[in-house]
Amino acid sequence: MTTSKRAPGEFNVNDQVLIARTKNPGTDHNQYVWVLFCARRLDNGDLCGNLYGANGSDFHLRKCPSCQSGAAGLGFDKLT
Ligand SMILES: [Zn+2]
Protein backbone atom coordinates (compact mmCIF):
# COMPACT_ATOMS: atom_id res chain seq x y z
CA MET A 1 0.00 0.00 0.00
CA THR A 2 1.29 3.42 -0.83
CA THR A 3 1.89 5.85 1.96
CA SER A 4 0.44 9.28 1.62
CA LYS A 5 2.29 12.31 2.84
CA ARG A 6 -0.90 14.22 3.45
CA ALA A 7 -1.02 15.64 6.95
CA PRO A 8 -3.89 16.97 9.05
CA GLY A 9 -4.56 20.63 8.36
CA GLU A 10 -4.12 20.36 4.61
CA PHE A 11 -6.77 21.76 2.28
CA ASN A 12 -7.78 20.32 -1.04
CA VAL A 13 -8.96 22.29 -4.06
CA ASN A 14 -12.56 22.25 -2.80
CA ASP A 15 -11.83 23.78 0.62
CA GLN A 16 -12.06 20.44 2.39
CA VAL A 17 -9.63 20.13 5.29
CA LEU A 18 -8.02 16.89 6.38
CA ILE A 19 -8.70 16.55 10.11
CA ALA A 20 -7.45 13.06 10.88
CA ARG A 21 -6.54 9.76 9.30
CA THR A 22 -8.28 6.80 10.94
CA LYS A 23 -7.64 3.05 10.88
CA ASN A 24 -11.21 2.40 9.80
CA PRO A 25 -11.29 0.62 6.46
CA GLY A 26 -12.63 2.72 3.60
CA THR A 27 -14.72 1.52 0.68
CA ASP A 28 -11.87 1.65 -1.83
CA HIS A 29 -9.09 -0.92 -2.23
CA ASN A 30 -6.45 -0.57 0.50
CA GLN A 31 -7.92 2.68 1.73
CA TYR A 32 -8.59 3.98 5.20
CA VAL A 33 -11.23 6.48 6.17
CA TRP A 34 -9.96 10.01 6.56
CA VAL A 35 -11.97 12.58 8.45
CA LEU A 36 -12.58 15.76 6.50
CA PHE A 37 -14.04 19.10 7.48
CA CYS A 38 -15.74 21.45 5.06
CA ALA A 39 -14.29 24.97 5.34
CA ARG A 40 -16.43 26.39 2.58
CA ARG A 41 -18.41 29.58 2.99
CA LEU A 42 -22.08 29.20 2.23
CA ASP A 43 -24.05 31.85 0.38
CA ASN A 44 -25.17 33.36 3.70
CA GLY A 45 -21.56 33.74 4.86
CA ASP A 46 -21.61 30.90 7.37
CA LEU A 47 -18.99 28.22 7.43
CA CYS A 48 -20.40 24.88 6.30
CA GLY A 49 -18.49 22.96 8.97
CA ASN A 50 -19.62 19.53 7.81
CA LEU A 51 -17.52 16.70 9.26
CA TYR A 52 -17.48 13.41 7.39
CA GLY A 53 -15.38 10.42 6.42
CA ALA A 54 -13.88 9.78 2.99
CA ASN A 55 -11.44 7.38 1.37
CA GLY A 56 -7.89 8.71 1.68
CA SER A 57 -7.42 8.25 -2.06
CA ASP A 58 -10.29 10.65 -2.73
CA PHE A 59 -9.08 13.48 -0.53
CA HIS A 60 -7.47 15.60 -3.23
CA LEU A 61 -10.73 15.94 -5.17
CA ARG A 62 -13.32 15.32 -2.47
CA LYS A 63 -16.40 17.48 -2.39
CA CYS A 64 -18.55 18.15 0.63
CA PRO A 65 -21.63 15.87 0.74
CA SER A 66 -23.58 18.68 2.34
CA CYS A 67 -22.91 21.79 0.25
CA GLN A 68 -21.09 20.59 -2.87
CA SER A 69 -23.21 17.55 -3.75
CA GLY A 70 -20.29 15.23 -3.08
CA ALA A 71 -20.72 11.52 -2.41
CA ALA A 72 -22.20 10.60 0.96
CA GLY A 73 -19.66 10.56 3.78
CA LEU A 74 -18.27 7.31 5.20
CA GLY A 75 -18.64 6.32 8.82
CA PHE A 76 -15.74 6.35 11.26
CA ASP A 77 -15.15 5.62 14.93
CA LYS A 78 -15.10 8.46 17.37
CA LEU A 79 -11.89 10.42 17.30
CA THR A 80 -9.89 10.17 20.45
ZN1 LIG B 1 -19.79 21.83 2.98
Any idea what the Cα angle at residue 22 is, between residues 19 and 28, rounded to 5°? Answer: 105
Report, as an integer, the average pLDDT of 20-32.
95
Which structural domain range is residue 63 located in?
1-80
Integer-rounded Cα Rg, in Å, for the chain is 12
Ligand 1 centroid, distance to 16 Cα (angstroms): 8
pLDDT in tens, 28-74: 999 999 999 999 999 999 999 999 999 999 999 999 999 999 999 99
> Above 80 in pLDDT, residue 1?
no
Q: How many domains would you assign to the chain?
A: 1
Residues lining ligand 1 (ion), CB within 5 A? 38, 40, 48, 50, 64, 66-67
pLDDT confidence band for 2 (50 / 70 / 90): low
How far are the Cα atoms of 25, 54, 65, 73 from residue 58, in angstroms, in the given order?
A: 14, 7, 13, 11
